[in-house]
Structure 1
Amino acid sequence: MAESLTKLAFLCCFCLFTLPFSHASDSILPNQSLPDGKFIVSSNGAFEMGFFSPDNSKNRFFGIWYKIISTGTVVWVANRDSPLNDTSGALTLTQDGNLIVLNTTNGHVFWSSRGNYTSNTQNPVAQLLESGNLVIRDANDENPGNYLWQSFDHPSDTALPGMKMGKNLVTGLDRVLRSWKNGDDPSMGNYSYLLDSHGFPQLFLMGSGSVERFRVGPWNGETFSGTPTLKKNQIYTLEFVSNREEIYYTVHTINSSVFVRLVLNHSGHLERSSWNHRTQAWTNIFTRPNGNCDNYRNCYGYGICDIKSSPVCSCLDKFKPQNEEDWAGGDSSSGCVRRTPLNCTNDGFIKYSGVKLPDTRNS
């Protein structure tokens, strides 16, 4: 009975406070709603949010996409695992500062932001920023450090410039990219991209069953050692932060008019691309994994991979295959062993350049 009364009370409020979106607005105030068929655009028109249906699907999702780009590429989905099957949906900001996606016919809630609210939150507002970040904040406080909730902390399959990829060590928040199930279904697919903080932090692309598919080597001060070609470019810069409170990396565009995104697609590939205004299409910057040498542990212990060689795997200098017969048959899973044991008197080092450092989770 109490639940029915709550739904009835909300539906009455919905009828009274549905926003008149005949004017441009980038915000929603408490008890205002954005119904299916209406949209909110960021201040300078870069992004838009509202309900949409993917190609070849009738399901309705609430999401954010590029407004200024002709393809309307989706970058974030709220109710990705709980779609509506008709146009009765609405996004609303409750009086206590919580965003919810619900069915306006029966009041059923399909998604909730469940933000970090306190009794001091008097004037919450939900705002779509020009960065593509949907935030809930106090109307009188624009400090990003005081956001009550933000979509950048809960990404779908896309990372945008300014979004942190990594962990908040104080709250336990872990920002992970998760692929769509397929091109027509934004529900969680088989792949995830995350920062592993064990040992020295590094990035992993995980497959079904949390199996390592690709590893980006550790940060070397300029870039991640598994992506040396990205050390210098004219499009964006990389920033890596590691302290007692958080561990993350982020991307900053050099020119704010250039749109860059990182997508974990449903086939399990990471794609960094930029928008070409002349051709009106996305231009690929890199794709990972790209070739056998990108596969996790392709050459195993003390092995080295060279995509230009055949076979691609060999042993480091002063090492040999542990199982010569297996290696001769193309199976390098036994790895390599030292030709001569260490004796701690005449040992030395051999320099290797342009290689990915070993897995550092146990370092």
Structure 2
Amino acid sequence: MNSTVIACTFVYDDKEVYYSYELRYSSILSRLTLNSSGIIRRYVLNEGSSDWLIMYTLPYDMCGEYGKCGPNGICRINGNPICQCLDGFVPKSKVDWDALNWAGGCIRRTPLDCKQGEGFIWLRNVKLPDLLDFRLNRSMTSQECKRECLKDCSCIAFTNSNITDGGSGCLMWFGDLIDIQECHGENSEQDIYLRMPKSELGVKIGSDDIELPSYQLEAVTTATKSFSVSNIIGEGGFGPVYKGRLENGLEIAVKRHSQTSGQGLGEFKNEVSLISSLQHRNLVRLLGCCLDGNERMLIYEYMPNGSLDYFIFDQSRKKLLAWKNRFEIALGISRGLLYLHQDSRLRIIHRDLKASNVLLDSELNPKISDFGIAKSFGGDQTEGKTRTVIGTYGYMSPEYAFSGKYSVKSDVFSLGVLLLELVSGRRNRILDHSDQHLSLLGHAWQLWNEDKALQLMDKCLKESSVESQVLRCIQVGLLCVQKLAEDRPTMAAVVFMLSNEIVSLPQPKHPGFFLKDSYTTASEASAEERFQTKNAVTITVLEGR
């Protein structure tokens, strides 16, 4: 902690890692105190004063307390409880753990055995464990580090010592892992690779050898109360989604493949291979998977507020989302799409962005989900074409629906529909307006041309709305749903336009009105009655060529 009073020096070499602090001025005295709860306070005393002043207090949060969760435990500030065992570990004393006494930490569920074969699972976005027993080599690559750790049976975990430029260097741990904390946001600290016995290793998916933590069927069955109907929180083209709670208290969402689903192993592998490599605060986090016989399940972080459509299309619940929440949701979805299109390792086209595929966490932050039909582009590729049109009517761009052409601008169209749905609280389907029959896009376009755009706004937003933001959302939405793909803005432009009120926006051109009569079906209505979080089913249409 550098300041005008104290100079901090960081020492990091092959033998030791430590910080040292030195006062800059001899006229100032300083002292540190440590109480029985592990709280550290630094006091300073200025020359001529008799009062010690608190300069800072550590930790700032419960997870900041050193070794809060004991050996091989991880502190998740948003978890319930905040202390959980690392994957492959169980509480050393379940009685103590249930009593919220985590000091004893966790032990391995299955002992390591070099002779039987071992590997690593990927633990992402963490503050690295304390360097109590470690080895450092700055010249090794990641693959060399992995091989070196595997050769030494006492090596428990490894990571890059330098995370810039794709990562380099080798940092290895030996013995118990102490003081691991989950980090949040795009500026999360680092990843770590945790050694596991062969029986605990994740499933390898696809040609890139992606490894995910593997959950046992018995554990998932117990967590979901034997896949009880009362635990279903949604259903889509892949199958039902269940809420579950693991033995360690972690709440999960289990996406279980239905035998009657139109989606199969290809979509399953596609979703895993894409989302496992993505890290963004506005994308849902994949925790692992379960493959057992005919069972195929994806295990996600649980989103306590369900999906966006659960709120905005319900006459009672829509009142719970004030304009400020909706505008922040619009920005969050846009930033998530920008990451997919521009900032991730591959350019990814979601192809099924809709209200039911946007999940909300405990603070109503949006997270894009369901990457089963997403496509990735490498190099300079910007668009593709398919004979199989997959998506949801009402969110499909015209060029994709009619000719199978998809690009980043296909997702931009879907986002435009979503923005207009957020403002209006109505689905993009045929709306009844006296003697006219218009879709939501048609209605918004008509009001815009009549200079009555604010009439599109959901009446429940009247008290909380900011008119300039509402108009900006409508205008950006209409720019996104323009008929020709080349007229639509990029996601970088969308984020910029939504975030900057002083920027003047271009006038939108005629929107693409593609909408199929079968978009609204009886099965959709029954799904809404049955599930807490209704999911408009993804449609697959085979087209002859």
**TM-score, length-scaled by structure 1:** 0.32
The answer to which structure has the higher strand fraction is 1
The answer to which structure has the higher helix fraction is 2
The structure having more radius of gyration, on CA atoms, is 2
**TM-score, length-scaled by structure 2:** 0.24
